[in-house]
Structure 1
Amino acid sequence: MKFDFHMHSVYSDGSSTLEEIFEIGKNLKMSAISITDHDTVLGLEKAVDLSKKNNIPIIPAVEFTAVEKGIKFHVLGYNIDYKSLELIEYSKILLNYLNNRSKEQIKLMHNNGIEIEEEEFFKEGKGGPLYRAKMLKTLSKYGYLKEEEIMMSLKAYFGKEAPYYVEDTYKYYDFQQICELIKRNNGIIILAHPIKVKNKDKDLYLEIINSGLLDGVEIYHPSNDMEIREELKGIAKSKDIIVTGGSDYHGIFNKLKTPICGIDIPEEVYRNLYPYFVNKIV
């Protein structure tokens, strides 16, 4: 049985279209799928349609960005109401903000002699925000760098000391607010790749784990080694919350380049998330 519950498409910071993802899913004979694009539901209606067309059950989901103590981390909301007017508005506001920020970065490029029209950059958006990797993909098309150099070039182009840095001034929700948003919209709350939070701030990690707000933790993720997986299994058992997992597929926009179904995930995860499948195959 093959399944993957953490993937990104062009509707956020992935390089693959939804059609391409489902084509891969069909070829792999996947039993279930979840598209977890960052901070947006705008691709989910199309994803559900493709799920039905390809006969692959899907869980509508979003990977939300939260900020605590100035630290960004991610919270997965599975079973989200992708037709919610609140979430559609939330998605559009952030899309608009990110694209306006990208326009500022493109102006800096123009001032630095990069003569690529703004519209050429935005073609790479393909329905989602013009994330930094998408801008570098455009630069690679025009010979400024090689496609395989995109992910290793992010800091050189957009880091704090880089020529095209523009401060991120968006007021992201804190953890409590993200949890309330997910619950208002019928979702369940899963801490995404917990080791990334732990590495940034151990106290914050413990606060989130002990908040009583989580419905589950993402154990099976490329960033989680065996030690953190065992730690999280103990936490999940003691707190009676579910465990989940996925490849965190981004197509070419990922340093690890983990493919769809690229990590081993036990069937327990499939069973944990089965109640939230759309288009169940009985």
Structure 2
Amino acid sequence: MSLKYDLHSHSTVSDGTLTPAQLVHLAADAGVNVLALTDHDNVSGIGQARMAARERDISIVPGVEISVSWNGHTVHVLGLNIDPDAPILCAGLERLCDYRQWRAREIGRRLAKKGIEGAYEGACEEATGALVGRLHFARFLVQRGHARDVKEVFRKFLVSGNPGYVSGEWASLEEALGWIGDAGGMAVIAHPARYNMTRGKLRRLIGEFRELGGRGLEVVSGSHSKDEYFTMARHASDFGLLASAGSDFHGPENPWINLGQLPDLPPGCEPVWNHF
């Protein structure tokens, strides 16, 4: 019997709505055999996930989703099978977390200038973990009636040219891959079809990533269409990269794809999990 892998998920440590333990139990109930916890720029939930996994028939892959600035784009790079206590990785993530806290306060300030008071405090209430992210602002703004749903919040408030937008100042691609490598992990570009890049620019990103030691591409993602699965599989093959699969699950309220429902990788892909 083949195992079910989900190598991209989030908990309340970043912008998910389930604790690491709750996430693990839900994944096990959904038939997932191997789950990677990949919170944004934070690894503090991995210990809780491992403890919960001991109670269930599920394996935890320690991971992280690192925010990267590349040629005017914010790109996310997964570090899979990392040592979450690696000093260089932890120092780098601490820097990003400090920036995230400043950005959250700045988003709140900019929204207040547009007449939306209390957004920062509201986002903090939504965030049960240490980090306050854009998704927490989005949930607050939906609750206050400023938008119908989270997607509309991002479109009206949190992307370039809108009141709550703050440009990211994240790790460089070289820094992120260095941190992951130092932690003994494998670097994977997360949801590559989401970056709104031309085909040529995406291939430049993938090529640079590969030259810096990147190992994989998230071919099957909860935010990819079926056609994009096959497009990303071709890119992975062209650049000699391994293929990964992850739901990018944030909680039952707003799943890209529910846990346990990822399709198989397209034919010809070499799975990243074969090389852990």
* Conserved? CA contact 1:133–1:151, under 8 Å: no
Higher alpha-carbon deviation: 117-126 or 85-94: 117-126
Equivalent residue for 2:40, pick from 20, 27, 38? 38
Determine the structure 1 residue equivalent to 2:189: 191
Within a 5 Å distance, the mapping from 1:236-275 to structure 2 comes to: 236-237=236-237, 239-251=239-251, 254=254, 257-266=256-265, 272-273=272-273
Q: Any stretches of 5+ residues in structure 1 without a counterpart? A: 277-282
> Could you tell me which amino acid in structure 2 is paired with residue 241 of structure 1?
L
Whole-angstrom distance in 1 between the partners of 2:82 and 2:38: 10
Q: CA deviation at 1:253?
A: 7.2
Give the aligned CA root-mean-square deviation in angstroms.
3.1
Q: Residue 12 of structure 1: SS of its match in structure 2?
A: coil
Whole-angstrom distance in 1 between the partners of 2:266 and 2:198: 31
* Conserved? CA contact 2:69–2:168, under 8 Å: no
1:217 aligns with 2:217: yes
> Could you tell me which amino acid in structure 2 is paired with residue 124 of structure 1?
E
1:80 aligns with 2:79: no
Equivalent residue for 1:181, pick from 175, 179, 182? 179
Q: Residue 200 of structure 1: SS of its match in structure 2?
A: coil
Q: CA deviation at 1:15?
A: 2.7
* Conserved? CA contact 2:92–2:179, under 8 Å: no
Equivalent residue for 1:204, pick from 198, 201, 204? 201
* More relative contact order, 1 or 2 (CA 8 Å, 6+ apart): 1
1:168 aligns with 2:170: no
* Conserved? CA contact 1:35–1:60, under 8 Å: yes
Q: Residue 25 of structure 1: SS of its match in structure 2?
A: helix
Aligned length: 270
Q: Residue 48 of structure 2: SS of its match in structure 1?
A: helix
Q: CA deviation at 1:188?
A: 0.8
* Conserved? CA contact 2:96–2:171, under 8 Å: no
Q: CA deviation at 1:205?
A: 2.2
* Conserved? CA contact 2:217–2:232, under 8 Å: yes
* Conserved? CA contact 2:14–2:131, under 8 Å: yes
> Could you tell me which amino acid in structure 2 is paired with residue 233 of structure 1?
A
Q: Any stretches of 5+ residues in structure 2 without a counterpart? A: none
* Conserved? CA contact 1:60–1:81, under 8 Å: yes
Q: Residue 64 of structure 2: SS of its match in structure 1?
A: strand
Whole-angstrom distance in 1 between the partners of 2:237 and 2:119: 54
